[in-house]
């Protein structure tokens, strides 16, 4: 199959391109770095010509509320229009577990808007909702840092390795459209504070993580279980400790 990966140069996208290629698909990375811009439309029709499946794992360059909403709505509208012209039979997109449970989050409101455009499009689709990536821990810390202190809630997360996310995206792209949502997660629930504390310790980052239930996460107060799967989820078994140990060996 020809599978176009929008955002195929990013963290998940580059791992996904390798997996799809290893499985014998023609996998095309489409992003500004490969001459495809889903905001301006540059290169999009050419990239989608003859495509069977389009996977969207792009992300907004800016997380400011208005920017992220403009990115996901403009980009998704342009991608879906190009898919209709090209006769693409399956749109797969990566979103976040709990999107609709945190309406105060501008980022998650934008992901809800992205999902609505997809479900209303009439194109067969699959939505994959992932929990926070292990790789995201330092970025979470950076947004919650004041001096040497990182202030985070102990509301629960169930973080997952980006490799496992890419595996789930590959299987979904190669399968029949779900016309629904698949939740994916890592093996263990833990507080957001504990997740970031564990990662920073492994990285030798001296910042102290202080537990604060009133601390916002990307601008929103998070209810205790808002970011963990509510029902059935596909659970991967890569453990945070094992993953961190492998990272620190690699980077030593
Ligand atoms: N971080 C998490 O914990 C988490 C959890 C659940 C779900 N997600 C979702 O996972 C998805 C992928 O995240 P990621 O961390 O893999 O992203 P990333 O590494 O930041 O990569 C973003 C990708 O988007 C591309 N892009 C940016 N602007 C574009 C444009 N105008 N047209 C086409 N492509 C464009 C970039 O292309 P260039 O390289 O060419 O700039 C890059 O390939 C996001 O949708 C996010 O919502 C993230």
pLDDT digits (tens, 9 = 90+) for 72-119: 999 999 999 999 999 999 999 999 999 999 999 999 999 999 999 999
What are the helix (H) ranges across the chain? Answer: 11-22, 44-48, 65-86, 106-119, 137-143, 162-174, 192-203, 240-251
* CB of 161 shorter than 6 A to ligand 1: no
* CB of 98 shorter than 6 A to ligand 1: no
Q: How confident is the model at residue 231 (pLDDT cuts 50, 70, 90)?
A: confident
Q: Cα(31) to centroid of ligand 1, in Å?
A: 10
Q: Cα(190) to centroid of ligand 1, in Å?
A: 25
CA distance linking residue 119 with residue 151, whole number of Å: 36
| Mean model confidence pLDDT for the chain | 96
- Global pTM value: 0.97
Q: φ and ψ at 28, to 5 degrees?
A: -115, 120
Give pLDDT, residue 251: 54
**Can you say whether the dihedral through the CA atoms of 132, 133, 137, 143 is positive or negative?**
negative
Whether the predicted pLDDT of 252 surpasses 50: no
Radius of gyration of the chain (CA): 18
Element (H, E) at 53: strand 53-56
pLDDT digits (tens, 9 = 90+) for 11-47: 999 999 999 999 999 999 999 999 999 999 999 999 9
Mutating to test ligand 1, I would choose from 30, 32, 127 the residue with most ligand atoms within 8 A of its C-beta, which is 32
Mutating to test ligand 1, I would choose from 27, 37, 57 the residue with most ligand atoms within 8 A of its C-beta, which is 57
């Amino acid at each position: 199959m020809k599978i176009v990966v929008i955002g195929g140069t990013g963290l998940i996208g580059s791992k996904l391109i390798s997996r799809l290629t290893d499985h014998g698909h023609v996998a095309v990375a489409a992003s500004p770095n490969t001459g495809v811009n889903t905001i301006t439309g540059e290169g999009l029709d050419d990239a989608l010509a003859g495509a069977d499946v389009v996977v969207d794992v792009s992300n907004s360059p800016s997380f400011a509320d208005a920017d992220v909403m403009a990115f996901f709505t403009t980009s998704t509208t342009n991608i879906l229009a190009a898919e209709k012209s090209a006769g693409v039979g399956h749109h797969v997109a990566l979103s976040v577990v709990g999107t609709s449970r945190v309406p105060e989050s501008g980022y998650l409101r934008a992901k809800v808007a992205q999902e609505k455009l997809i479900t209303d499009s009439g194109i067969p689709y699959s939505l994959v909702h992932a929990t926070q990536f292990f790789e995201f821990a330092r970025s979470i810390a950076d947004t919650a840092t004041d001096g040497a202190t990182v202030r985070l809630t102990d509301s629960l997360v169930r973080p997952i390795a980006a490799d496992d996310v890419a595996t789930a995206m590959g299987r979904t792209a190669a399968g029949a459209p779900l016309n629904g949502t698949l939740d994916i997660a890592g093996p263990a629930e833990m507080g957001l504070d504990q997740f970031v504390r564990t990662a920073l310790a492994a990285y030798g980052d001296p910042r102290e993580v202080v537990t604060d239930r009133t601390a916002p996460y990307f601008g929103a107060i998070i209810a205790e279980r808002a970011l963990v799967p509510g029902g059935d989820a596909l659970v991967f078994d890569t453990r945070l400790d094992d993953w961190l140990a492998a990272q620190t060996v690699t980077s030593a």
